[in-house]
Every structure is written in structure tokens, then in C-alpha cells.
Chains A and B, each alone.
Chain A
Amino acid sequence: MKRMILALLVLVAIGAGLFWILTEPGRLSEAELSAMPAGDPVAGEIVFWAGGCTSCHAAPKSSGDDKKILAGGLEFKTDFGVFRAPNISSDKKQGIGDWDQAAFANAMLYGTTPGGSHYYPAFPYTSYIRMSHQDLSNLWAYMQTLPASSNVVEAHDVGFPFNIRRGLGLWKLLYLSDEPILDVPADNDQLVRGRYLVEGLSHCGECHTPRNAIGGPDKSRWLAGGRAPEGNEKIPNIAPHGSFAEWSESDIVEVLTSGFTPEYDSVGSSMADVVTNTSKLPKSDREAIAAYLKAVKPPVQ
């Protein structure tokens, strides 16, 4: 009997040890951190708009220049619980003003907090992991120039078992990868740029790709739309076989510039925020997104 209990305890210890190892939050290596290029805040502004930071992190209902105050507070009521966008302004106490570049890089690319815990994937690091280190550095430089806000944001309200953050390490093993989703010719600069924006920095797939029961993206139905993670909003299929099959590339460029569809309907809800961001990008970036969207393959049946 004693032996059996001992064996059981050993098994539990091994299991716990394995869980601990598998769920270790990822971080950049010392070598990667020391090779991080210097940041240019001016170039970082484009990264900021392309990355859509302000859509979630600005105070709810803000507009104009207030969009640059990343005070947080927007709530996302999901099946897993209520997530609240944190204050990521330059405030040293409530924001991330006391972070260094390494902390920022680990958060953006690996969803790892400065304290070595996991962020929930409501923060789209599953896309940001594809960001270039130059863009990351530029963005960090730019964000430090933005105003501080002392707004206090409440903690997330998430139920068991999702409240055990360490377990997110297992989720990341399944879904956190910097592998490209679509194969594009390496010498086609426009498609490579489009892929970088759609799959990475601008994280289109976070809303436009359907998710499974544990919130993992169904990459076999890439960009094929579905229910929004929050509320009952219907997210359209933006792949070439989807709702916008008839649209030309210039129609896609137009909707990302002005919000107008070919019939001059104007997009609403969260996509209106996206247009506010994409309208600030160089036209070549919107053209690259359009070219990429036209190159997406139909879903595997």
C-alpha cells in the first residue's frame, strides 16, 4: 500500500513537472535581445496604426487624437469570461512606462508578462509573433512618446479552468507559431508585405478566422469569417471565395481607405475602427493587403 501511494506521488510529481516545463512562458534569448535594432519613433507611428493597438487600448468611444491615449478599459464579454484591455500608456504606475524594450518584446511576440506569466490570447500575440524586430523596436520607441494616463483598469473576470494562467502555456503550444499560413512567392514583394500585414501586424485573422471551442483559430478555414468572439456580431468571410468574391483589389483598397463598399454602403462596428487605422497607412500597404486577400486559398473541405 505504502509503495502504491509512493508510486502515485511520483507520478503526480512527474506530471506536475512536465506541466511546468511545457507551460513555461516563451521569451527572446539574450542574443536576440542584444541584436534588437534601435527604434525610430517616426517610423513607429505607421507600425502603431497598422497594428491597430488603439482599437482595443484607447478609452472606449474615444476619437481623434484621444485615440493615442492608451488608457485601456474596453471590455470584451466572451464565452470564457470578461476581458478588459489594460492601460498600456506611458504612465509608470498604471501603464507600461516602467517597462524596457525586452519586456515589451516578450509581451508582443510571446504573450509573456514582465513577471513571467501568460497573457490571454485576447491580446493578439499569436499574430504579432510574426512581426519584424525592426517594427517592434520602432513601435516601442513611438509608444513612449504617447501621453500617460493614470486610468486604473480592473482585472479580467475569467472562470475556471481558464483563470489558471499557467495552463495557457498548453494553449500556446497548440496555437502560438510564427510559421506563415499562406505560401507566397518570396520574390513577390507585394504579397510578402500583404502576408506580413494580414497574418502578422494587422492581425486580420484574429477576428475573421473562425475559432474552435477553446478559442484556437481554425487555420483550415483561414479568414472564412464566423461569429465574433464577443457578442453576436457576424464577421464576414473575406477570403476570395467568400462574401466579397465580386470585389476587385481596388474595391478592397477603397474600403480600407474610406470605409465604403462598391455600392457605397459604409462598414460599421469594429471594422469602422479598423478603417480609421488602415486609412493612415501608405496606399501601397492597403494594396498589399488586397493582393494578399485575393491570393487566399479556399478552405479544405
Chain B
Amino acid sequence: MRLIVAGLAALAITTTALASGNPAAERQALMKNVGAATKAGAAMAKGEVDFDAVTAQLVLRTMNNAGLAFGYMFPEGSETGEKTEAKPEIWSDRVGFDKLVNKFVADTSATVTDLDSFKAAFGAATENCGTCHKAYRVKTN
């Protein structure tokens, strides 16, 4: 019995953690992760730190993971709140938004073998940041 209660409690916690009901906050956290990954990747691409294949792949995987989630992170009803910088165009031009998200997912799917292949993949992946932010992000607070 105790075990079941503990199990249910654990499940409740997990459920809360997985769906806080606050997509705006979740996507901001996700974007921060992408930023951290990009920072690590940029240091490597610029030669500020030594190339490391495991880290390099992790950088791209983190971006890719976020890209896969973005499709679910902008539901109807999350247009405001949390000082969101999401532009209304995300909802009024969903086809255009999804197209850019899919491109980001594709561009972050590469497998890295050496510094050159990482630089190429990382360059292509990070091109998406500005393109998507230009069309679908605006600071209003």
C-alpha cells in the first residue's frame, strides 16, 4: 500500500514536471538550453577549446531535441504570459513557422566525425537562429 502511495506521489510529481501547464515558461527554458549548447559549440568551432566528438554531438543533439519539441511548445492559448517574445505570427502563420522548425530539426540531425564536419553542421544549424527569430520573435516588455 505504502509503495503504491509512494508510486502515485512520484507519478504526480513527474506529471507536474512534464506538463506544468505553462508552455511559455517551458519553451523559454528550452531556448536557454539551446543557448548553452550553442555557447559550447561556438567555443569549439572557433578553436577556443579543443574539439571533442562527444560534446560536439551533444551540442547538435540538444538543439535537435529542442527543435523536435518546438512543434508542441506553442499551443493555442500560449500567445501571452511569461513576458513571451513569441510573435503573433507563430499562430497566424503556422505553416510558415512549422516550415522553419522542420528545417531546424533537419539541420541539427547531422552526425559529427571531426572538427570540419562539426563546423559545417554547426554553421548550418545556427543559421536558423536568426532566420526564425527575425520572423517570429519580438521583444515587447
- Describe B's contact surface by its main secondary structure: helix
Chain A residues with Cβ below 8 Å from B133 are 259, 266-269, 272
A-B contacts, CB under 8 A, total: 57
Is B36 within 8 A of A233, CB to CB? no
- Describe A's contact surface by its main secondary structure: loop
CB of B37, distance to nearest CB on chain A (Å): 8
Produce 1/0 per residue, B32-75, CB < 8 A to A.
Answer: 00011011001000000000000000000000000000000000
Is B130 within 8 A of A232, CB to CB? no
Q: State which residues 83-135 of B face A: CB under 8 Å.
A: 85, 87, 126, 129-131, 133-135
Chain B residues with Cβ below 8 Å from A268 are 85, 130, 133-134, 136-139
Question: Number of B residues contacting the other chain (C-beta, 8 Å)?
Answer: 21
Chain B residues with Cβ below 8 Å from A276 are 130
Chain A residues with Cβ below 8 Å from B42 are 260, 264
Chain A residues with Cβ below 8 Å from B35 are 263-265
Whether B15 is near chain A, meaning CB under 8 Å from some CB there, is: no
Is B134 within 8 A of A264, CB to CB? no
Is A259 within 8 A of B130, CB to CB? yes
Q: State which residues 228-249 of A face B: CB under 8 Å.
A: 231-234, 236
Given A259-B130, A272-B134 in contact, is the A264-B140 Cβ separation under 8 Å? no
CB of A195, distance to nearest CB on chain B (Å): 26
Chain A residues with Cβ below 8 Å from B85 are 268
Given A233-B138, A233-B139, A269-B137 in contact, is the A264-B130 Cβ separation under 8 Å? no
Whether A258 is near chain B, meaning CB under 8 Å from some CB there, is: yes
Given A233-B140, A268-B139, A269-B139 in contact, is the A260-B129 Cβ separation under 8 Å? yes
- By beta carbon, the residue of chain B nearest A275 is B130
Instruction: Tell me the complex Cα distance, A269–B132, Å.
Output: 9
Q: State which residues 4-46 of B face A: CB under 8 Å.
A: 31, 35-36, 38-39, 42
Chain B residues with Cβ below 8 Å from A75 are none
Chain B residues with Cβ below 8 Å from A265 are 31, 35
Given A260-B42, A264-B35, A264-B38 in contact, is the A272-B130 Cβ separation under 8 Å? yes
Is A269 within 8 A of B126, CB to CB? no
CB of B34, distance to nearest CB on chain A (Å): 8
Whether A285 is near chain B, meaning CB under 8 Å from some CB there, is: no
Is B134 within 8 A of A273, CB to CB? yes
- By beta carbon, the residue of chain B nearest A235 is B139
Produce 1/0 per residue, A180-202, CB < 8 A to B.
Answer: 00000000000000000000000
Instruction: Tell me the complex Cα distance, A63–B85, Å.
Output: 23
Chain B residues with Cβ below 8 Å from A231 are 138
- By beta carbon, the residue of chain A nearest B42 is A264
Instruction: Tell me the complex Cα distance, A130–B58, Å.
Output: 49
- By beta carbon, the residue of chain A nearest B137 is A268
- By beta carbon, the residue of chain B nearest A236 is B139
Chain A residues with Cβ below 8 Å from B135 are 61
Is B39 within 8 A of A263, CB to CB? yes
Chain B residues with Cβ below 8 Å from A270 are 134
Instruction: Tell me the complex Cα distance, A104–B9, Å.
Output: 73
Given A260-B38, A260-B42, A273-B134 in contact, is the A266-B129 Cβ separation under 8 Å? yes
Q: State which residues 216-234 of A face B: CB under 8 Å.
A: 231-234
Given A258-B126, A259-B130, A272-B133 in contact, is the A264-B138 Cβ separation under 8 Å? no
Additional 17 contacts, C-beta under 8 A, given A260-B126, A268-B137, A268-B139: A233-B138, A234-B141, A259-B129, A259-B133, A260-B38, A260-B129, A263-B39, A264-B35, A264-B38, A265-B35, A268-B85, A268-B134, A269-B87, A269-B138, A272-B130, A273-B134, A275-B130
Closest 4 CB pairs of A and B: A268-B133, A268-B137, A272-B134, A266-B129
20 CB-based A-B contacts, threshold 8 Å: A63-B131, A232-B140, A233-B139, A233-B140, A234-B139, A259-B130, A259-B133, A260-B126, A264-B38, A265-B35, A266-B126, A266-B130, A266-B133, A268-B133, A268-B136, A268-B137, A269-B133, A269-B134, A269-B137, A270-B134
